[in-house]
């Protein structure tokens, strides 16, 4: 692997030099007033990224998985019922975590490549007349399959059933890259991590709690210590942590939110959409298909590309790494060996993306697939050129 080449995995993502410098800082006394000058702007920046006016933000030294555990243990009790769909590796892992915590699961099985089945959610919630279901889980962007689900649609299903369940959303590979509207969509807990859209190293679990979720904390009985948000909230009031914080990463988060907000969230989302569309144009030119079953499900942060029947997609990933020093994502779970993934999120440009498309083409040709060298690059170039022209016209 070459450190000179950008990575095309769906996280950790490429880091801008400015954020690397922000994380690389001298030791700071985290009980001094200087720490508060890092902590509070970072929390406020995350709140804006989530598009929330009232959410309480918590940042733990952990990853997105720790964020999931924070959500569950702070608001639920053993035996509580939870509704979830299994349509990919990360929704599967969240279900597994719930089961390990002694929660009763209502699991809707969906194809890997499908989105959350909103009609089944609504049917189950409507049938739950006694409101035994306490929480509905939703994976906004299923990283393993490149599928984006409709979170606003999940909220509509809850409202149509007049159901009071809390809505928890895994936004690990969507938040800060794709449009996320915590307040508008009625999301009660939003979960993400530092290593994807925020363009930082792995190491921070970033969670937003609605006021409704905060109220649930007081009656929940699942054990929590490290992830107890009550301890964290009490410490925040004094510009402290209940234990040693990851100061450098928090400083990076502060700067990351500043950079994203300076670019403008809508511009950030448009950039990701544009880059993703170029990748999709390349996939079509190769004569291949995405794992996502329809265009409305296409993710703007990762494309899972199906390879021909009988071909091991892992060969592309391995050859890219060994011969060209470039990283692509492997297939996981039910799509292992059937797809390879191009991550196109975080610190990425059209030009950087073209290098990844070119590398994937070289690997496929090297491995004997019937792909015309340059076809995907040309298709993406054509898209990026035309898109730039449209932007220029609109600005005139």
Domains of the chain: 17-262 (3.40.640.10), 265-395 (3.90.1150.10)
pLDDT of residue 3: 82
pLDDT band at 215 (very low <50, low <70, confident <90, very high): very high
pLDDT of residue 117: 98
Q: State the chain's mean pLDDT as an integer.
A: 96
For residues 211, 213, 218, 222, the Cα torsion angle rounded to the nearest 10 degrees is: -160
pLDDT of residue 344: 98
For residue range 352-370, list pLDDT tens digits in order. Answer: 999 999 999 999 999 999 9
pLDDT exceeds 60 at position 380: yes
Half-sphere exposure of 46 (CA within 13 A, CB side): 28
pLDDT exceeds 80 at position 247: yes
Q: What is the DSSP letter of 207?
A: E
For residue range 257-283, list pLDDT tens digits in order. Answer: 999 999 999 999 999 999 999 999 999
Cis? peptide before 377, omega within 30° of 0: no
pLDDT of residue 389: 59
pLDDT of residue 390: 63
pLDDT of residue 164: 98
pLDDT of residue 158: 98
Percentage of the chain modeled with pLDDT above 90: 96
**In DSSP terms, which residues pair with 170 in a beta bridge?**
139, 191
pLDDT exceeds 90 at position 2: no
For residue range 221-232, list pLDDT tens digits in order. Answer: 999 999 999 999
Sign, Cα dihedral of 263, 180, 342, 298: negative
Q: Hey, what are 230's tokens?
A: 């009550």
Cβ 13 vs Cβ 195: under 8 Å: yes
pLDDT band at 387 (very low <50, low <70, confident <90, very high): confident
Question: What whole-number distance in Å separates Cα of residue 350 and Cα of residue 274?
Answer: 8
Question: What whole-number distance in Å separates Cα of residue 6 and Cα of residue 112?
Answer: 28
- CA distances (Å), origin 252, targets 41, 93, 127, 244, 368: 11, 28, 46, 16, 43
pLDDT of residue 14: 97
Q: Hey, how many other C-beta atoms are within 10 angstroms of the C-beta on 289? A: 15
pLDDT of residue 394: 54
> Strands 189-193, 204-209: parallel, antiparallel or unpaired by DSSP?
antiparallel
83 contacts: CB under 8 Å, gap ≥ 6: 105, 106, 108, 121, 124, 125, 133, 135, 136, 137, 165
Q: Long-range CB contacts (< 8 A, 24+ apart) of 231-236?
A: 232/58, 232/60, 233/56, 233/58, 236/39, 236/43
pLDDT band at 98 (very low <50, low <70, confident <90, very high): very high
CA 75 to chain centre: 22
Cβ 313 vs Cβ 307: under 8 Å: yes
pLDDT of residue 396: 46
Residue bearing the bigger pLDDT, 125 or 3 = 125
User: Quick one: residue 375, left, alpha or beta (phi over 0 = left, psi -120 to 50 = alpha)?
Assistant: alpha
Least Cα distance to 138 among 188, 85, 180 occurs for 85
């Amino acid at each position: 692997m070459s450190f000179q080449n950008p990575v095309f995995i769906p996280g950790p993502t490429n880091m801008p030099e400015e954020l690397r410098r922000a994380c690389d800082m001298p030791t700071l006394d985290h009980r001094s007033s200087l720490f508060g000058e890092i902590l509070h702007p970072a929390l406020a920046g995350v709140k804006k990224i989530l598009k929330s006016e009232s959410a309480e933000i918590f940042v733990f030294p952990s990853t997105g998985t720790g964020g999931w555990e924070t959500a569950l243990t702070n608001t639920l009790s053993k035996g509580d019922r939870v509704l979830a769909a299994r349509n990919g590796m990360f929704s599967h892992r969240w279900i597994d975590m719930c089961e390990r915590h002694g929660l009763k699961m209502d699991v809707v099985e969906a194809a890997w490549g499908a989105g959350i089945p909103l009609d089944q959610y609504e049917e189950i919630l409507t049938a739950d007349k006694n409101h035994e279901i306490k929480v509905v889980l939703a994976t906004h962007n299923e990283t393993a399959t490149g599928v984006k689900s409709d979170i606003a649609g999940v909220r509509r299903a809850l409202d149509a059933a007049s159901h009071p369940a809390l809505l928890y959303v895994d936004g690990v590979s969507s938040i800060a890259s794709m449009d996320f509207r915590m307040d508008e969509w009625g999301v009660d807990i939003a979960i993400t991590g530092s290593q994807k859209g925020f363009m930082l190293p792995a190491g921070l679990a970033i969670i937003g709690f609605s006021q409704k979720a905060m109220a649930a904390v007081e009656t929940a009985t699942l054990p929590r210590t490290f992830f107890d948000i009550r301890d964290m909230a009490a410490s925040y009031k004094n510009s402290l942590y209940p234990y040693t914080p990851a100061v450098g990463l928090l400083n990076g988060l502060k700067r990351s939110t500043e950079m994203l907000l300076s670019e403008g969230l809508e511009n950030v989302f448009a950039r990701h959409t544009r880059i993703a569309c170029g990748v999709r144009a390349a996939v079509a030119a190769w004569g291949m298909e995405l794992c996502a079953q329809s265009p409305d499900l296409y993710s703007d942060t990762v494309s899972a590309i199906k390879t021909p029947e009988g071909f091991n997609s892992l060969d592309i990933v391995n050859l890219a790494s060994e011969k060209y020093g470039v990283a692509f994502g492997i297939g996981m779970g039910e799509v292992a060996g059937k797809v390879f993934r191009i991550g196109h999120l975080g610190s990425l440009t059209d030009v950087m993306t073209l290098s990844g498309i070119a590398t994937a083409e070289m690997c496929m040709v090297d491995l004997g697939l019937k792909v015309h060298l340059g076809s995907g690059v040309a298709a993406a170039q054509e898209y990026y050129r035309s898109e730039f022209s449209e932007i220029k016209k609109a600005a005139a």
